[in-house]
Structure 1
Amino acid sequence: MRVVIFGASGMVGQGVLRACLLDRSVDDILVVGRTPLNVVHRKVREIIHANFTDFTVIRREFEDADACFYCLGVSASGRSEEEYTRITHDYTLAAARAMIVDNAALTFTYVSGEGTDSSETGRSMWARVKGRTENELLAIPFHAYMFRPGYIQPRAGAVSKTAAYRWTYRLTSWLYPLLNRLAPGHVTTTEHLGRAMIAVVGLDGGGPTVLYSRDINRLGAPAPAGAVRRR
């Protein structure tokens, strides 16, 4: 399987990249970012690209990809709706449209969030923008899956790029077992997210297209020892 990852430097992206490195069904990983990750691994290639509203010059690099794992995202805190829309919606759709040109059977996964507003009419700015992004992705003729996790527990060294989130995770990590017991449908981990993204590629467009933490945890459950995930 050949995959493309956007946002591999973020907390979720780190989890997805690690899952791809560990999964024997993933043969080739193309990481697209603005700054180098400097990951040295036989599976990984990196492309540094500055303009995330136009991927025309690197579109050929996406040929024959089986999946795109889009994990790029920012907090809406302190951002105008215009800025948040540019990063959350415009960048995502530009990547999706570039990916579909030579990949009719592509699986595209997008990390949204619990509370996303599919109606695009609610009071919450971030939820409206995420809802619009989801709706437009689902209208593109590829296999699209919207991931709406609730609380995400970082695992295996995954770290948020947002300082406030890093402190929050440090202070509340001990609560995860309790949260998982009391509200299992609203919590997940970076490890489950990564494995679930790989798993949906094998669904070929089947199953629900909007996935919540409970779905993510089911699809991302650790495979039995010796098993190989296949498309």
Structure 2
Amino acid sequence: MKTGINVIITGTTGMVGEGVLHECLQDPQVETVLIINRRPSGVSHPKLEEIIHTDFFDYSDITEQLTGYNACFFCLGISSVGINADDYYKTTYTLTMALANTLSRLNPEMTFCYVSGASTDSTEKGRIRWARVKGKTENDLMKLPFRQVYALRPGFIRPIKGLSRIHGYYRYINWMFPIGRALYPKGFCTLQELGRAMIRLVQHGYPIKVIEGNDIIALAKQ
């Protein structure tokens, strides 16, 4: 029987998912990690398993491989820039809920951590399209029969040095981090802090379900 934290991570071929995976592989409280990707990640580790799966809207053929986990760190996401409304909704809301519905049925004792974003609109009524869609995703995730659901809302994320999937523009704006952190800590966290915060949420829980930047920093220090 598995003990400790046994986590499924999505989005590990992107910057946030790669960083969260890195933190999980380093943390002794995390026992096993399963990643689901469309293409191989190229990462090898004794406690890592990988499923190559092409249809992120249907998991019926791999359900047996998704049982026995007590955490999911959902790090898969896209920018709303340059994408039409229907495609953004499908990729952000429908895709997320497809996995969440499957996992809530298979692992009701799971803690589901969703990487959302700063300024997400919980009312679903604001003017900004992406914020409404993220807000609906958060709200509907909270309704699923998981043990716990948390929506993490990082703003500026400083990447982990040495990892390979860092967005190119961070090379030009990383200098902003120390200034932003000093003036507005709620909007600035490190990717290391984000990964650690998710692990701590599984271990200890948190009194609120929407985790803003200050909460991410506080959780990472626990």
How would you bin the TM-score normalised by the shorter chain? over 0.9
Alignment of 1:79-228 (within 5 A): 79-142=83-146, 143-158=148-163, 165-167=167-169, 169-204=170-205, 206-221=206-221
Please give the alpha-carbon distance, in whole angstroms, between the structure 2 residues aligned to 1:130 and 1:175. 26
Once the two structures are TM-superposed, the CA of residue 69 in structure 1 deviates from its matched residue by: 0.3
- Are the aligned partners of 1:69 and 1:110 in contact in 2 as well (CA < 8 Å)? yes
Please, what TM-score do these two structures have when normalized by structure 1? 0.90
* Equivalent residue in structure 2 for 1:69, among 54, 69, 73: 73
Gaps of 5+ in 1: 224-231
SS at match of 1:24: coil
- CA contact under 8 A between 2:57 and 2:94: conserved in structure 1? yes
Tell me how far 1:159 sits from its aligned partner.
5.2
In 2, the alpha carbon distance for the partners of 1:191 and 1:129 equals 26
CA distance in 2, matches of 1:171, 1:32: 31
1:61 Cα shift? 1.2
Aligned length: 217
Following TM superposition, by how much is the alpha carbon of 1:157 offset from its aligned partner in structure 2, in angstroms? 2.8
Q: Equivalent residue of 2:72, what SS?
A: strand
Say whether residues 1:32 and 2:48 are aligned partners.
no
CA contact (8 A) 2:71 2:112 kept: yes
In structure 2, what residue type is equivalent to 1:40? S
Determine helix, strand or coil for the equivalent of 1:145. Answer: strand
Question: Residue 211 of structure 2 aligns to a residue in which SS?
Answer: strand
Query: Quick one: distance in 2 between partners of 1:75 and 1:47?
Result: 25
- After TM superposition, give the deviation of residue 112 of structure 1 in Å: 0.5
Q: What value does the CA root-mean-square deviation take over the aligned residues?
A: 1.3
Using the alignment, how far apart are the partners of 1:99 and 1:133 within structure 2? 15
SS in 2 for 1:40: coil
The percent of aligned pairs where both chains have the same amino acid is 41
Q: Which ranges of structure 2 fall in alignment gaps of 5 or more residues?
A: none
Q: Normalization by structure 2: what TM-score?
A: 0.94
